[in-house]
């Protein structure tokens, strides 16, 4: 470790960690490890018991546009390892009969008290029906932080990303109650033209938010649509 000091996002001073290049570790892996170890949000997530640094993105989005409430039915798509779900649980009282939290991911996710965890590929045609089966009523919030693994072909990657956002929105339009909220991760300067048009038709307010915890060098941003017209 070097003795260079930094201030973490939680206001604490932290040490900058230097990573030695191990013979068998690829340079890209070394860079990733170095970034993780020196990322104040990774440190904060560990300190505060969040499963991922992504938790702070949802916290920051909800600070700008507060939509998470005590009585709330929430579907969290692309939920693993569960940082966003933990933030949802900070607000939602899952004991309330009109509340429910469903977390879905193509990858396994550790259980969380009060949450229905589903391991399922959301791009499968049967995925929405499987979700309907577990829902106990109309949904107030649909979240999508889904990110397909990059194939390395820019156009293909972009199409897959847009495909998942469109599927998430189709689902949201079917399950949301009037006044409901849709939040989705989008890329490359925001939701594409057709998607944005549809969002503006169906919701009272549509906004793009790049939370401070989203890495500056990442093209990700979030579209937040509130006031579903029903
Ligand atoms: C950025 S991570 C989500 C992080 C999560 N929101 C958190 O706070 O911990 C993106 C997630 O999308 C999931 N994903 C990608 N494609 C998916 C699909 N077709 N169906 C369901 N989940 C998918 C990935 O498995 C991954 O866990």
Question: Annotated catalytic, 197?
Answer: no
CATH 3.40.920.10, domain 55-228, yes or no = no
Res. 148 pLDDT band, cuts 50 70 90:
confident
Task: Give the SS3 label for residue 31.
Answer: helix
Task: Give the SS3 label for residue 93.
Answer: coil
Closest ligand 1 atom to Cα of 83: 8
Start and end residues for every CATH 3.40.50.150 domain found in the chain: 55-228
Active-site pick, 185, 197, 200, 229: 185
Residues 78-95: what's their mean pLDDT?
98
| pLDDT number for residue 9 | 41
Please choose from 127, 128, 146 the residue to mutate so as to test ligand 1's pocket, defined by most ligand atoms within 8 A of CB.
146
* C-alpha to C-alpha distance for 63 and 190, rounded to whole angstroms: 20
Q: Tell me the CA–centroid distance for residue 93 and ligand 1, in Å.
A: 24
Q: pTM of the entire structure?
A: 0.88
Res. 17 pLDDT band, cuts 50 70 90:
low
* C-alpha to C-alpha distance for 96 and 89, rounded to whole angstroms: 12
User: Could you tell me which residue, 219 or 108, shows the higher pLDDT?
Assistant: 108
**Segments of 46-196 assigned E as strands:** 73-77, 100-105, 115-119, 139-144, 176-186
* Residue nearest atom 13 in ligand 1 by C-alpha distance: 78
Of 116, 164, 115, nearest to 144 (Cα)?
164
pLDDT digits (tens, 9 = 90+) for 52-67: 999 999 999 999 999 9
* Residue nearest atom 24 in ligand 1 by C-alpha distance: 78
Q: Tell me the CA–centroid distance for residue 3 and ligand 1, in Å.
A: 36
* C-alpha to C-alpha distance for 94 and 217, rounded to whole angstroms: 36
Cβ neighbours of 20 (radius 10 Å): 8
pLDDT digits (tens, 9 = 90+) for 151-193: 878 778 778 888 999 999 999 999 999 999 999 999 876 668 8
Residue 92 has pLDDT above 60, yes or no: yes
Residue 129 has pLDDT above 50, yes or no: yes
- For 6-15, 70-79, 153-162, 180-189, which range has the lowest pLDDT when averaged over its residues? 6-15
Dihedral over Cα of 105, 110, 113, 118: its sign: positive
Q: Which residues line ligand 1 (CB under 6 A)?
A: 51-52, 54-55, 78-84, 104-107, 121-123, 145-148
């Amino acid at each position: 470790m070097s003795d260079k000091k930094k201030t973490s996002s939680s206001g604490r001073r932290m040490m900058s960690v230097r990573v030695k290049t191990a013979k068998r570790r690829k340079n890209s892996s070394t860079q990733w490890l170095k970034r993780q170890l020196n990322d104040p949000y990774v440190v904060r997530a560990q300190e505060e018991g969040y499963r991922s640094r992504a938790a702070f993105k949802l916290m920051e989005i909800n600070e700008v546009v507060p939509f998470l409430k005590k009585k709330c039915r929430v579907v969290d798509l692309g939920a693993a390892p569960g940082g966003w779900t933990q933030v949802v649980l900070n607000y939602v009282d899952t004991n309330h009969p009109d509340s429910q939290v469903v977390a879905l991911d193509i990858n396994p996710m550790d259980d969380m008290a009060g949450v229905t965890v589903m391991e399922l590929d959301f791009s499968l045609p049967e995925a929405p029906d499987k979700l309907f089966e577990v829902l106990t009523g109309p949904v107030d919030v649909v979240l999508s932080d889904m990110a397909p693994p990059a194939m390395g072909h820019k156009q293909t990657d972009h199409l897959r990303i847009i495909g998942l956002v469109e599927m998430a929105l189709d689902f949201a339009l079917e399950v949301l109650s009037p006044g409901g909220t849709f939040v989705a991760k989008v890329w490359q300067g925001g939701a594409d033209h057709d998607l944005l048009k549809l969002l503006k038709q169906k919701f009272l307010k549509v906004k793009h938010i790049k939370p401070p915890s989203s890495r500056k060098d990442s093209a990700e941003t979030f579209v937040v649509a509130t006031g579903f017209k029903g």
